[in-house]
Amino acid sequence: MFLRFWRVYNTGVLLEMYEAGSLVAYSMLRLVATIGVFFYGLLLLAAQSTAAEAGSVTWEKDFRPIYPEAAAYPRAAVLSDGRVLVAFAHPTPVGRAIACVVSSDGGKSWAGYQRICEHPKPVDLDNAFPLQLADGTVLVAYRRHSRRNHEFRIEVSSSKDGDRWALRSTVATGSQGIWEPFLLALPDGTVQVYYASEEWCYPDQRIEVRTSVDDGISWGKPVTVAEKKGSRDGMPGVVRLNDQELLAVFKAQDVPPFRFVIRGARSHNLGRTWSATRQLIYRPNHLVAAPWAAGAPSIIRLPDGRLMVSFQSDESNAFVAGDRRRDPMHSEYDYLRHTYFACITSLDQGKSWMAPVHLLGGPDDPANWNVLYTGNDGTVFALSNHRGKIWVKAGATDGKLGLDVQR
């Protein structure tokens, strides 16, 4: 008589088997169990394959650059005439500028560079986000920081014709930090701007939203979207699910040992109030428990109702203890040098999410500050900050991209 414990880890299930009997009987039981695990694995793979196919996007084969020089943090808007506008920040000989380019052929080529605003050092401009209003006016929100003077601003510039830009309004000011504006237009013409704020909560950070009823000329008081003690909630992205429900995604720091995870918060009254429930949308997946990161999310809703969330993560970096490039616990480790651009899909309004699909980048070849954007025809644009420049590729949700594509 003897005692054996048999654990099967690769299915995620802990199987403990108590056996009392002969070695022959044990061997037979082991064979039966092995066959069972094998067929369970086949069923699991089949289910994953079906889910992946249901959530698939047909992507162009390669990314292409949209601007020939150094630039960062791309964000897009599809204009009423069908052109795609991408706004971004780039260095100048004396400082920084916010600029934009447009594409008239679905992202194949880009031209029409326009400088929206600029400022010499030490003022820092970044985090541009465009939105077109119903009357054709294009808004671009961005942050203007003067850290030397502890002056932080979220500003909005606008243009009616795309050629001449002027400051339209100041959304928020602070002395500790305000970041990453995101513009959303509601069906009634209301414009919302979401952003991350450190004001009165540093070193924590919360997500706030302000509302404009005059096309971005003035802004109401802030409403808290997400906040938790000890967490730097940041980089919000928001999508409207139906007539009243909004889903906001953001990076958070409330799941040890991870540096960042992706969480979601919901509003059932178009952003007037927000649920305190912080849905866990994605956390890094790595065999070694360490401060891996999943951050910088964006979210889109496809015409058929599917949701897609993109993020950047260093979860594919091979762990080597004590190595400053491979160990996120090393004091000199920088996760931004090892991130890849990935996306996940939901078929049930964000209640559950499929496995991530890799789009670009990886360890020592990072892809950062990525975003997904979708047009009215269902075309998905994936934009990334990669190798110092901005890159884009398009995807189709109906399999009819008409270009050199890959699954």
Query: Do 82 and 379 touch, CB atoms closer than 8 A?
Result: no
Mean pLDDT of 171-188: 97
Write out pLDDT tens, residues 332-377: 999 999 999 999 999 999 999 999 999 999 999 999 999 999 987 8
Specify the pTM.
Answer: 0.85
Is it the case that residue 405 has pLDDT exceeding 90? no
Portions of the chain given CATH number 2.120.10.10: 59-406
Write out pLDDT tens, residues 289-331: 999 999 999 999 998 999 999 999 999 999 999 999 999 999 9
Least confident range of 77-81, 309-313, 383-387: 77-81
Task: Specify which residues 396 forms β-bridges with.
Answer: 58
Question: Which pLDDT band, with edges at 50, 70 and 90, does 37 fall under?
Answer: very low
pLDDT, residue 377, reads 82
Domain 59-406, CATH: 2.120.10.10
Query: Do 277 and 351 touch, CB atoms closer than 8 A?
Result: no
pLDDT, residue 400, reads 52
Sign of CA dihedral 356, 366, 83, 61: negative
Query: Do 194 and 209 touch, CB atoms closer than 8 A?
Result: yes
pLDDT, residue 162, reads 78
Mean pLDDT of 165-175: 97
Sign of CA dihedral 52, 86, 315, 326: positive
CB atoms within 10 A of CB 208: 23
Q: Rounded CA gap, 159 and 29, in Å?
A: 74
pLDDT, residue 313, reads 98
Share of the chain residues as helix, strand and coil, in percent rounded to the nearest 5: 10, 45, 45
Q: Which of 307, 217, 292 is nearest to 251 (CA)?
A: 292
Cα distances (Å, whole numbers) of residue 52 to 138, 281, 344, 375: 36, 17, 10, 22
Write out pLDDT tens, residues 49-69: 434 444 578 999 999 999 999
Q: Rounded CA gap, 195 and 178, in Å?
A: 7
Q: Locate all alpha helices (DSSP H) within 96-196, ordered by sequence.
A: none
Q: Which of 209, 210, 206, 208 is nearest to 219 (CA)?
A: 210
The 8-class DSSP code of residue 278 comes to -
Write out pLDDT tens, residues 109-144: 999 999 999 999 999 999 999 999 999 999 999 999
Task: Give the position of tokens 């001449």.
Answer: 164
pLDDT, residue 56, reads 79
Sign of CA dihedral 19, 22, 27, 29: negative
